[in-house]
Copies of this chain bind each other. A is one copy, B any other.
Amino acid sequence: MPQSPTVAFIGLGIMGLPMAANLVSAGFTVRGYDRAPQQTDRFAGKGGTAASSLAEAVDGAGVVITMVPDSPDVDEAMFATGGVFDSAASGTLVIDMSTIRPDTARTVAEEGRIRGLRVLDAPVSGGETGAVEGVLSIMVGGDSADFHAAADVFAPLGTAVPVGPAGAGQTVKAANQLIVAGNIQLVAEALVFLEAHGVDTEAGLRVLNGGLAGSTVLTRKGEAMRHRRFEPGFRIGLHDKDMGIVTAAAREAGVPVPTGALVAQFIGALKAQGHGGLDHSALLALLDRIATEQK
């Protein structure tokens, strides 16, 4: 990789803005673009270079990073007229860090390859806090040589791990969302069960977390769940999108994820009922409602 290539950063939202800012702090020249002009302006306020269009951001950049909400947004960023594939020079490293469908990631990689681009899918976990602090967990799919070429760009953002060919990063992220949703649901079930039996749930969750039932969900969310504090965190609306990805990708691959499918229905119901803005631990609120007889 040439030293400190210019990085085009597309998508300066809750995650993208602090990530792009961390690249600026690490010494990269970063041209940022967001469909919402005020986000591009905020990035300029953090020392970034504001681009007035996606094409302007990408033109001449050695690395293009996209961090947008969903698969259609990635499709648009890549394939639209004036999009990444129109504007990036051959050999450019294109890193999509959005959380999208693995099959979309594979299509983007293949179409990019045809155009002489080097494409990685590199979704992250760790949330806004991880983005701000530069400690994201980055799951990377694509060619090994391209992964190594991207190492300097990943370093200010967090810890990157290569997990397989194109799409593999998105597959691991999908598996992550499956396990997280399920673990939250299980803690919720355990909690209503303990409460119904008059157990001291503070001591109960503590002793559970010390044994084979221990989990990062229990550590990070157990106390907030006990007190029914559901401020996000990670929103039901986004987790609903991700459960759609993992259940569809599992069906298409011929593997069953029955527990994931069950929890996907609960998350979908919460979203459809207007609770998409709550933290995903609000799965407990749905269970509370089933458990408590309405008078």
Chain A contacts to B: CB under 8 angstroms: 102, 125-126, 137, 139, 141, 159, 161-165, 167-168, 171-172, 174-176, 178-180, 182-183, 185-187, 189-190, 192-200, 203-204, 206-208, 210-218, 220, 246, 249-250, 253-260, 262-263, 266, 287, 290-291, 293
Q: Which residues of B have CB within 8 Å of A256?
A: 189, 192, 287, 290-291
Check if A190 sits within 8 Å of B175, measured CB to CB. Answer: yes
Chain B min CB distance to A81 (Å): 32
Check if B186 sits within 8 Å of A171, measured CB to CB. Answer: no
- Alpha-carbon distance between A192 and B249 when the two chains are bound, in angstroms: 12
- Alpha-carbon distance between A210 and B137 when the two chains are bound, in angstroms: 8
Known contacts A175-B194, A214-B216, A255-B291; 6 further A-B pairs (Cβ under 8 A): A125-B213, A137-B207, A141-B199, A179-B187, A196-B254, A212-B217
- Alpha-carbon distance between A189 and B215 when the two chains are bound, in angstroms: 17
Check if B212 sits within 8 Å of A193, measured CB to CB. Answer: no
- Alpha-carbon distance between A204 and B210 when the two chains are bound, in angstroms: 25
Tell me the dominant secondary structure on chain A's binding face.
helix
Chain B min CB distance to A121 (Å): 12
- Alpha-carbon distance between A173 and B190 when the two chains are bound, in angstroms: 10
- Alpha-carbon distance between A43 and B183 when the two chains are bound, in angstroms: 40
Q: Which residues of B have CB within 8 Å of A212?
A: 125, 176, 180, 216-217, 220
Known: A189-B259, A196-B253. A207 touches B246 (CB 8 A): no
Q: Which of B164, B197, B213, B214 is close to A253, meaning CB atoms less than 8 Å apart? A: B197
- Alpha-carbon distance between A188 and B171 when the two chains are bound, in angstroms: 15
Check if B199 sits within 8 Å of A163, measured CB to CB. Answer: yes
What are 8 A-B contacts defined by CB distance under 8 Å? A137-B211, A171-B204, A172-B194, A172-B199, A175-B194, A189-B255, A193-B250, A197-B249
Q: For the complex of A and B, list the 3 residue pairs with the smallest distance between their C-beta atoms, beginning with the closest.
A: A196-B253, A179-B213, A214-B216
- Alpha-carbon distance between A273 and B207 when the two chains are bound, in angstroms: 33
Q: Which residues of B have CB within 8 Å of A172?
A: 194, 199, 204, 207-208
- Alpha-carbon distance between A287 and B102 when the two chains are bound, in angstroms: 22
- Alpha-carbon distance between A218 and B180 when the two chains are bound, in angstroms: 12
- Alpha-carbon distance between A180 and B208 when the two chains are bound, in angstroms: 10
Q: Which residues of B have CB within 8 Å of A258?
A: 189, 262, 266
